[in-house]
Amino acid sequence: MMYGVNRTAKYLLGKDIAGRQIAVRPDDTFIVSYPRSGNTWTRFLIANLLYADRPVTFANIEQLIPDAEAQSSRYMKRVRSPRVIKSHEYFDHRYPKVLYITRDPRDVAFSYYNFSRKYRQIPDDFPLERYVHDFVTGALTSAPWGTWAENVGTWVAARNGRPSFLLIRYEDLIENTETELAKVAKFFGLDPAPEKLRAAIEKSSAQRLRELENKEGSEWVTTKNKRSDIPFVGNAVAGGWKSKLPASAVAEIEGAWGPLMVSLGYELTERAAGGSIGL
Amino acid sequence: MIEDLIQIAKRPLGYGSDGRNIDVFDDDTFLVSFPKSGGIWTRFLLANLLYPQEPVSFRNIDRLIPELEFAKRRMLKRMSCPRLLSSHEYFDPRYRKVIYLVRDAREVARSQFRHQRALRRIGDKRLAGNHAIEQFVTSFIAGDGSDYGSWGDHVSSWLVPRQNANDFLLLRYEDMEAQTGLELARVAEFLGMKASQDSIAQAVERSSAVQLSELEGDERSASADDSSGHDLAVGRPGAAGSWREGLPETCIADLETAWGPLMKWLGYELALAKDHEARARVEPVSPGAPAR
């Protein structure tokens, strides 16, 4: 009879997750990506640039660059302006300034599969091909962010080319970390001096993040109470799908999103059939 | 503060409207359009086609095809499934089956300007000549104050991820006007209905009054402009192409510069902007014929 009592109570107490309902401020900057696309690494890189004077760890990252999908609206309200916020949302026209990170969906799919196991959303023996099918068709229960193509496509289509939008590919960030980070630094209005960039890169290395995860993973909001035998910090490589994904799964992803992938510079294994979903 | 409390109290009672936050079911179908794109008329056409037993009027349309912006949560929950809902939202991944209605950006801008004028939301008397509409078009392009993003945000957010999906149907308002019956037949097919020529003709016939009143609405706001002493030419309101008379050249150029490639892709001929000027501030969907 009563609708949404729980939600109402949480709302009154300010304990509702900010997520898509976050109150956006005009001086906010968002770090947006589909899940498993290098957002956490980028978050550490930027935090280490912004707060070079202190160590950035999983214990304080939520204070420095809060996660809108993990924190309550009350928490987000208390963060001082100008805020830098992490988000996985598909296009939201209210976001004033956006750094968008994209990653090859074939790598995202495999990484997401391990993540879903970590979160106990699927058992260890869940067939990878079935998972990829759900991933492509948007049937994952854990994905309120739309499919990969919906997330990337809506942002890039509506915003690419504007001064308030910077598109970065995870693959480029791995290959030319310093060059790409210099772009990011400029976008954030920060000094892109090489020694500062290098220090931030050093402090955000995959190895360091892994050590931090081992130490603090049980406290961090994202990994708390999740399986600790599967790491959150991934392998930090590009192209791992080539050895990990079955050919049929690759074909399904390319068949669905081929043109969009090509327009983002991701080479296909074969000519994807039809479609003109590109940008 | 009191406003807030009222909103909060409405929620558990089901009297609030959820807008973007409605609970979506897998078998829902959405009629989606940017505001002032001919959504009301299209809604009547669909309602008259789906519910031929009763003529549709403003009294029952909200029950037959509710508009998300206003529909009460309680009512939406009680509707029988599958539901057909009307929405102004930009892309929402939860919408599975979507009829997307698009209209020429220049026409939408002109129509929204008149509408807002009539509602007295805009209209600075101190602005002489074309300044008022120029100011409006600037904020229209930026999407200022819009809950649904800008026209370009809206259209591309739906087209890019969904244009080739089986459960996505693109309708152009201009085609709806030019060949109402044919377009309505496409919608019927999309909805999996067997609609006879007669039933389509009847739906068109029964909706013509609404088409007219939507046009008259435009006309009325247009005359409101005239009485306020502004020099705005009045074309045949609502008719495709009448933006040529209603919009100053600078506005047309601005709109075409902002969204030229997207407009062209949709089949809207550019009047002013040369190709090289229509730089894709909004990099639109790839070239190729629109899915139709």
User: CB-CB: which of B8, B285, B288 is closest to A157?
Assistant: B285
pLDDT of residue A265: 95
Decide: helix, strand or coil at residue B115: helix
Determine whether the interchain pair A259/B91 forms a contact, defined as Cβ–Cβ distance below 8 Å. Answer: no
pLDDT of residue A131: 93
Contacts of residue A53, defined as CB under 8 A and 6 or more positions apart, other chains included, come to none
Chain A CA closest to residue B4? A12
Integer angstrom CA distances of residue B203 from B47, B54, B87, B122, B222: 8, 11, 21, 36, 29
> Mutation test of the interface with chain A: which of B89, B96, B281, B286, choosing the one with the most A Cβ atoms within 10 A?
B286
In sequence order, what DSSP letters do the residues of B160-221 get, joined into one string? HHHTT-TTEEEEEHHHHHHTHHHHHHHHHHHTT----HHHHHHHHHHHHHHHHHHHHHHHHH
Determine whether the interchain pair A144/B93 forms a contact, defined as Cβ–Cβ distance below 8 Å. Answer: yes
pLDDT of residue A273: 47
pLDDT in tens, A138-154: 888 766 899 999 999 99
pLDDT of residue B230: 36
d(CA B269, CA A239): 43
Residue A267, chain B, CB below 8 Å: the answer is no
Q: What is the mean pLDDT of each run of 10 residues along chain B (292 residues)?
A: 68 66 89 94 94 88 90 86 93 94 95 82 61 89 90 94 92 95 96 93 90 61 41 41 83 94 93 57 40 34
Distance from CA of A120 to the nearest CA of B (A): 23
pLDDT of residue B225: 43
pLDDT range class, residue A274, cuts 50, 70, 90: very low
pLDDT in tens, B150-200: 999 999 999 999 988 899 999 999 999 999 999 999 999 999 999 999 999
pLDDT of residue B125: 58
In sequence order, what DSSP letters do the residues of chain A get, joined into one string? ---SHHHHHHHHHT-SB-GGG----TT-EEEEE-TTSSHHHHHHHHHHHHTTTS---TTTHHHHS-BTTTSBHHHHHHSPSSPEEEE--S--TT-SSEEEEE--HHHHHHHHHHHHHHTTSS-TT--HHHHHHHHHHT--TT-TT--HHHHHHHHHHHHTTSTTEEEEEHHHHHHTHHHHHHHHHHHTT----HHHHHHHHHHT-HHHHHHHHHHHTTTSTTTTTS-SSS-SS----SSTHHHHS-HHHHHHHHHHHHHHHHHTT---SSPPPS-----
Distance from CA of A214 to the nearest CA of B (A): 35
Q: What is the model's pTM?
A: 0.80
Determine whether the interchain pair B161/A274 forms a contact, defined as Cβ–Cβ distance below 8 Å. Answer: no
* CA B98 centroid distance within chain: 14
Residue A259, chain B, CB below 8 Å: the answer is yes
Distance from CA of B204 to the nearest CA of A (A): 33
Which run of H or E residues covers position B106?
helix B105-118
Which run of H or E residues covers position B85?
strand B84-87
pLDDT at A215 over 60: yes
Helix axes A177-187, A194-203, angle to 10 degrees: 110
Determine whether the interchain pair B11/A259 forms a contact, defined as Cβ–Cβ distance below 8 Å. Answer: no
Determine whether the interchain pair B152/A8 forms a contact, defined as Cβ–Cβ distance below 8 Å. Answer: no
Chain B CA closest to residue A257? B161
Exposure string over A91-126, b if 16+ CB within 10 A, otherwise e: bbbebebbbbbbbbbbbbbbbbbbbbbbbeebeeee
pLDDT of residue A271: 55
Decide: helix, strand or coil at residue B109: helix
* A50-64, A129-143, B88-102: segment of lowest average pLDDT: A129-143
Average pLDDT of chain A, as a whole number: 89
In sequence order, what DSSP letters do the residues of B4-54 get, joined into one string? HHHHHHHHHHT-S--GGGPPPPTT-EEEEE-TTSSHHHHHHHHHHHH-TTS
> Mutation test of the interface with chain B: which of A7, A135, A150, A263, choosing the one with the most B Cβ atoms within 10 A?
A150
Q: Which of A212, A207, A91 is nearest to A147 (CA)?
A: A91
Residues of A in Cβ contact (< 8 Å) with B279: 161
pLDDT in tens, A74-99: 999 999 999 999 999 999 999 999 99
Q: Pick from A25-34, A157-166, A226-235 the range whose average pLDDT is largest.
A: A25-34
Chain A CA closest to residue B280? A161
Residue A154, chain B, CB below 8 Å: the answer is yes
